[in-house]
Amino acid sequence: MSVHSLRPATDEHTQTSQLDIAADLLTLLGTVTTEPRRNAQLEALTLAVAADLPVLLWGEPGIGKTAALTQLAESLDLPLTTVIASVHEPSDFSGLPIIGDDPAVQGVPMAPPDWAVRLVRAGRGLLFLDELSTAPPAVQAALLRLVLERRIGSLRLPAGVRIVAAANPRASAADGWELSPPLANRFVHLQWTHDHEVVVRGLGGTWPQATLPALDPGKLTTAVAFARRAVCELLTGRPALVHQLPTGETRRGGAWPSPRSWEMTMRLLAFALAADADPDVLSMLVRGTVGDGPGFELLTCVDRLDLPDPETLLADPAAAVLPERGDLRQVVLDAVVAAVRRRPERARWDAAWALLVRAVETGAPDLVVVPATTLATLRESDWDIPSSIEELAGMVSVSQGAEGAAARVAAQVRR
């Protein structure tokens, strides 16, 4: 055998070895770890997944939506099934007709695709519908039943399957379409953006850890009752918010209020309360379900419903815990004065002054000027001036430009 005849084998062996080394290098590059790290958008995603609601991540190309879903599936130990919606036909989601033994008797069943069968066999998983904004209207229509009812043909996905989708804005999508209003109204819309520190640390090999929210079993009943009360009280006072289909095509493809999306919002609110979620996370979820305007109104309603009962504060002023936020503290103090006005008694009047003193000691003094002025007008002629009023007038007088108001309060009490 000639030397030349051995060279191809040697070259082939060398090339194979180099490919093996390259594979080892790729494995090292793909090896990453996770760490507990505060990330509001990832917390919002995991909470919506726990609530078993379809989530749609909106973001520019290359922002890391697919990578986030892959990492989420690994962290939650869920098999990931990725389906590119734009490369499928409508029949791939509605089912393919299969003729059986006797169609006249048994009908024609709709056979599901192989990926749906695998999900059913696994009994759990994360179904990732990628590139949703590049799916044509006919495909979007076929997705309606999958997203809402979890059905593909005659097959129903098991309860252990969660659905998450991703889309690019139409301006940056390849041959993009706006989402149809019926499909958009079935999702919780989350704006996916990059965090510089998270990206840098992730490229270094450590990404934030995705974990399901820790639900407190003792809070479940209270959370459901509070969520229902908040949504119902808002819609009772603002009936126009029950259903508002936006006029613009782009806004119709996002979050907007409907009975369906309010039900989703109520579920998210209950989960957030049971998990003691961060307010930023709750804000993302609520605004991503019913839109910014209605969402802001609900969050304001939630803040007010979560305020302490004025009667409880009057019963024990020394143990009172007042809200930190100035606007909420003002609402509480005004409610306390209103409670005294409804049932004016000497002990309640004194307790209200003690609460105002506590408010000055723990917050901005100027917040008590208006409630103190109103409270002073409620004094009966035989009520002695409480010792706290002098202390209150002194503290308010050194606040921002409140000297005149403090003097008026003291003068009114002495009348």
d(CA 299, CA 206): 34
d(CA 206, CA 31): 9
Amino acid at site 362: T
Burial 162-182, CB ≥16 within 10 A → b, else e? bbbbbbbbbeebeebbbbbbb
d(CA 276, CA 73): 23
What is residue 368's predicted lDDT score, i.e. its pLDDT?
A: 83
d(CA 84, CA 111): 19
128-162 pLDDT per residue, tens: 998 888 888 888 988 998 998 898 877 899 999 99
Amino acid at site 100: G
What is residue 370's predicted lDDT score, i.e. its pLDDT?
A: 85
Q: Are 318 and 328 in contact (CB under 8 A)?
A: no
Question: Beta strands 155-156 and 55-58: pairing type?
Answer: unpaired
Once rounded to an integer, what is the mean pLDDT over residues 23-30? Answer: 90
Strands (E) in 186-240, as ranges, are 188-191, 206-208
Q: Which residues pair with 129 in a beta bridge?
A: 83, 165
Question: How is the chain split into domains, by residue range?
Answer: 1-31, 32-99+107-208, 217-305, 310-414
pTM: 0.76
Q: Are 86 and 139 in contact (CB under 8 A)?
A: yes
What is residue 410's predicted lDDT score, i.e. its pLDDT?
A: 55
Task: Give CA torsion, residues 95, 101, 102, 103, to 10 deg.
Answer: 20
Q: Counting beta carbons within 10 angstroms of the beta carbon of residue 298, is it exposed (0 to 12), middle (13 to 18) or buried (19 or more)? A: buried
What is residue 11's predicted lDDT score, i.e. its pLDDT?
A: 66
* Confidence band of 390 (pLDDT split at 50, 70, 90): low
Phi, psi of 145 (to 5 degrees): -70, -35
Once rounded to an integer, what is the mean pLDDT over residues 290-298? Answer: 94
* Confidence band of 406 (pLDDT split at 50, 70, 90): very low
Strand order in 55-58's β-sheet? 80-84, 124-130, 160-167, 55-58, 188-191
171 has a pLDDT exceeding 70? no
Radius of gyration of the chain, Cα coordinates, nearest whole angstrom = 30
Q: Counting beta carbons within 10 angstroms of the beta carbon of residue 343, is it exposed (0 to 12), middle (13 to 18) or buried (19 or more)? A: exposed
Of 147, 159, 160, 155, the C-alpha closest to 78 is 160
CATH of 32-99+107-208, one of 3.10.310.10, 3.40.50.360, 3.40.50.300, 3.20.20.140: 3.40.50.300
Question: What distances in angstroms separate CA 162 from CA 20, 125, 320, 395, one per listed residue?
Answer: 37, 6, 43, 56
- Helix (H) / strand (E) element for 111: namely strand 110-111
Higher per-residue confidence, 173 vs 221? 221
d(CA 81, CA 365): 57
d(CA 298, CA 234): 7
d(CA 135, CA 84): 9
Q: Counting beta carbons within 10 angstroms of the beta carbon of residue 114, is it exposed (0 to 12), middle (13 to 18) or buried (19 or more)? A: exposed
d(CA 192, CA 72): 14
174 has a pLDDT exceeding 60? no
Tell me the two tokens of residue 242: 């029950």
182-237 pLDDT per residue, tens: 999 999 999 988 888 888 888 888 888 888 889 999 999 999 999 999 999 899 98
Q: Are 155 and 112 in contact (CB under 8 A)?
A: yes
Question: Beta strands 55-58 and 124-130: pairing type?
Answer: unpaired
Tell me the two tokens of residue 153: 């043909």
Q: Counting beta carbons within 10 angstroms of the beta carbon of residue 352, is it exposed (0 to 12), middle (13 to 18) or buried (19 or more)? A: buried
